[in-house]
């Protein structure tokens, strides 16, 4: 029996890991232990995902959160090491680009435990983003690199990975697996529509949480200003990240609509499926908009998911209100005539498990 230890801690990782955990259950000779770093801890940022997606209960919760990047990452390293020493996994799995990802990969690497990185090879080419630093460092110390896209593979090749011992596999995107699997369930179980009175109505679905938008007050003010303008025409639904909420309050930035609390996975799927357009600075939501055939305005200057822009499903609009308003008018309810299967066939997690099982045999 082989043991895999999965380290997760932030909202997008719950969505990604759930697909792989589900696929793992079908492999009787691999046992999974889950460690939650505690990075996200509000019930609607964490627990709701475990419940709805039936993610196995973490054996450990390290309760590291609410600190600066260095302190958070350092505390995670300190708390992860004894866990890895006592669990002695054959492989550690990390997801995405958060502080939990880097801390998990680094702890394992220092103990000479092989590391698998799901969502490897993504780059924004902006080193001021904490996520970019986490991605680059995690990729470099991983043994198995699971890339969601062709661009991700190319990024690694450009950085000289052909000469490194790590294995690179393009498997597609585990978030697509999750969206496909849970979309039926969401229809039956989501509660957001009656609660918000949205049935049959047009609306803009928006999320804002990136540091470059929330910590630069000018950017945040511009975004809220344009949302206030658009909301007079078509309602804005803004599930608000706790950090963004705090910063809006501290800076007396007022919305002319009522942002809602962060929603669970079923609700966000339903909100995506029925939206007229999506505006977001989240990485995951850009792809999820595409999965459901919705045009996305990305509230950033660059994206890691460049194939969405190149194929005309997404426009980078930054934070300038005029640019955003113009892009909104051009693209509201723009129907998709063709879906390119940019993120695989919805079987990324099965491929990951098969490759991992082979790797562990050797």
* Residues tagged active-site: 209
Q: What angle do CA 158, 164, 169 make, to 5 degrees?
A: 75
Q: What are the tokens at 20?
A: 């792989």
The CB-of-271 to ligand UD1 minimum distance in angstroms stands at: 16
Q: Is 173 helix (H, G, I), strand (E, B) or coil?
A: coil
Here the tokens at position 130 are: 């904490």
Q: How many CB atoms lie within 10 A of CB 351?
A: 19
- Using alpha carbons, select from 207, 214, 67 the residue that is nearest to residue 129: 214
* Adjacency order of strands within the sheet including 2-8: 60-61, 30-36, 2-8, 91-95, 115-118, 144-147, 167-170
Closest separation in Å from C-beta 77 to ligand UD1: 14
**Which residues here bind ligand UD1, judged by CB under 6 A?**
10-12, 39-42, 45, 65-66, 97-99, 130-131, 209, 241-243
Q: How far apart are CA 335 and CA 317, in angstroms?
A: 19
Minimum distance, C-beta of residue 34 to ligand UD1, in the bound complex (Å) = 17
Give the C-alpha separation, 153 to 156, whole Å. Answer: 5
Please report how close the Cβ of residue 112 comes to ligand UD1 at its closest, in angstroms.
Answer: 25
Pairing between strand 236-237 and 204-207? parallel
Residue closer to ligand UD1, measured from CB, 215 or 345 = 215
Residue closest to ligand UD1 (Cβ)? 98
Count of residues making up the chain: 362
**Residue 73 or residue 306: which is nearer to ligand UD1 going by CB?**
73
The tokens describing 214, both together, are: 């929330």
Closer residue to ligand UD1 (CB): 136 or 332: 136
Q: How far is the CB of 66 from ligand UD1 (least distance, A)?
A: 4
Q: Toward ligand UD1, which CB reaches closer, 122 or 192?
A: 122
On whether the CB atoms of residues 20 and 349 are closer than 8 A, the answer is yes
Q: Does residue 154 sit in helix, strand or coil?
A: helix
Neighbours of 329 (CB within 10 A): 10
Dmax of the chain from CA atoms? 61
Residue 46 or 350: which CB sits closer to ligand UD1? 46
Residue 200 sits at φ, ψ, to 5 deg, of 75, 5
Q: How far is the CB of 17 from ligand UD1 (least distance, A)?
A: 14
- Quote helix, strand, coil % in the chain, to nearest 5: 50, 15, 40
Closest to ligand UD1 by CB, 66 or 82: 66
């Amino acid at each position: 029996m082989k043991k895999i230890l999965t380290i997760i801690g932030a909202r997008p990782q719950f969505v990604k890991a759930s697909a792989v955990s589900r696929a793992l259950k079908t492999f009787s000779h691999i046992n999974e232990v889950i460690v939650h770093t505690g990075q996200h801890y509000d019930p609607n940022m964490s627990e709701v995902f475990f419940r709805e997606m039936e993610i196995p209960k973490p054996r450990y919760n390290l309760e590291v959160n609410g600190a600066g990047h260095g302190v958070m990452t350092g505390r995670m390293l300190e708390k992860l090491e004894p866990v890895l020493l006592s669990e002695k996994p054959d492989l550690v799995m990390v997801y995405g680009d958060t502080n939990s990802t880097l801390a998990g990969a680094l702890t394992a690497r220092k103990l000479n435990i092989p590391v698998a990185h799901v969502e490897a090879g993504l780059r924004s080419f902006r080193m001021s983003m904490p996520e970019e630093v986490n991605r680059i460092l995690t990729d470099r110390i991983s043994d198995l690199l699971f890339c969601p896209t062709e661009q991700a593979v190319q990024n690694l090749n450009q950085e000289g990975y052909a000469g490194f011992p790590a294995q690179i596999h393009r498997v597609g995107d585990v978030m697509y697996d999750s969206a496909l699997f849970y979309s039926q369930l969401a229809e039956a179980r989501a509660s957001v529509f009656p609660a918000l009175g949205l049935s049959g109505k047009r609306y803009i679905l928006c999320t804002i949480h990136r540091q470059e938008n929330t910590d630069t007050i000018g950017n945040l003010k511009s975004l809220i200003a344009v949302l206030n303008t658009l909301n007079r025409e078509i309602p804005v639904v803004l599930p608000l990240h706790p950090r963004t909420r705090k910063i809006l309050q501290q800076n007396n930035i007022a919305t002319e609509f009522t942002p809602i609390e962060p929603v669970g996975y079923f609700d966000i799927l339903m909100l995506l499926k029925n939206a007229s357009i999506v505006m977001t600075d989240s990485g995951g939501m850009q792809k999820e908009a595409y999965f459901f055939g919705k045009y996305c305005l990305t509230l950033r200057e660059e994206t890691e998911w460049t194939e969405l822009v190149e194929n005309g499903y997404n426009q980078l609009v930054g934070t300038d209100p005029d640019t955003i308003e113009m892009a909104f008018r051009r693209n509201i309810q723009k129907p998709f005539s063709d879906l390119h299967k940019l993120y695989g066939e919805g079987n990324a997690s099965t491929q990951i498990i098969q490759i991992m099982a082979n790797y562990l045999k050797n």
